[in-house]
Amino acid sequence: MNNKRTIVITIVLSFCLIVVAVLLFWGLDNCEQGVKVTFIGTIEEIYSSGTAYVSEIKANDTNLSGSVVIDLPENREETFQVGDKVRVGHDGTTMEIAPVRIHTLTIEKIK
């Protein structure tokens, strides 16, 4: 009886560990998934809505020019301030408004 209980507990714990590992792996992989376009710009203004106005300096594989509005991540490890130079990754689609708005997937501060 005790031996069967130990086996069942071992199987359940193993299953839980596998599920947690898969979810963590999927979450980390999903962060960069979908990034098709990146650009480097400077944060000109930060809005209380969790967005920022960024003037584009250098585009990589994009037709963006001028300024764009980006989403700032809510739970971020880095804090961003006006004047920060950032590398922004997005899915390549733009919203047809002025200034152009994108769906931000990644953002990192650069020097």
- Where does the chain have alpha helices with state H? 2-32
Number of helices followed by number of strands (H, E) in the chain:
1, 5
Helix, strand and coil content of the chain, in percent to the nearest 5, comes to: 30, 40, 30
pLDDT digits (tens, 9 = 90+) for 73-91: 776 777 889 999 999 888 8
Q: Which CATH number fits the domain 37-110, given the four candidates 3.90.1200.10, 2.40.50.140, 3.40.50.12280, 2.40.128.110? A: 2.40.50.140
CA atoms within 13 A on the CB side of 38: 11
pLDDT digits (tens, 9 = 90+) for 9-41: 899 888 888 877 776 666 554 455 677 888 889
pLDDT digits (tens, 9 = 90+) for 36-74: 888 889 999 999 888 999 987 666 655 566 788 988 877
Cα–Cα distance for residue pair 45/18, rounded to 1 Å: 44
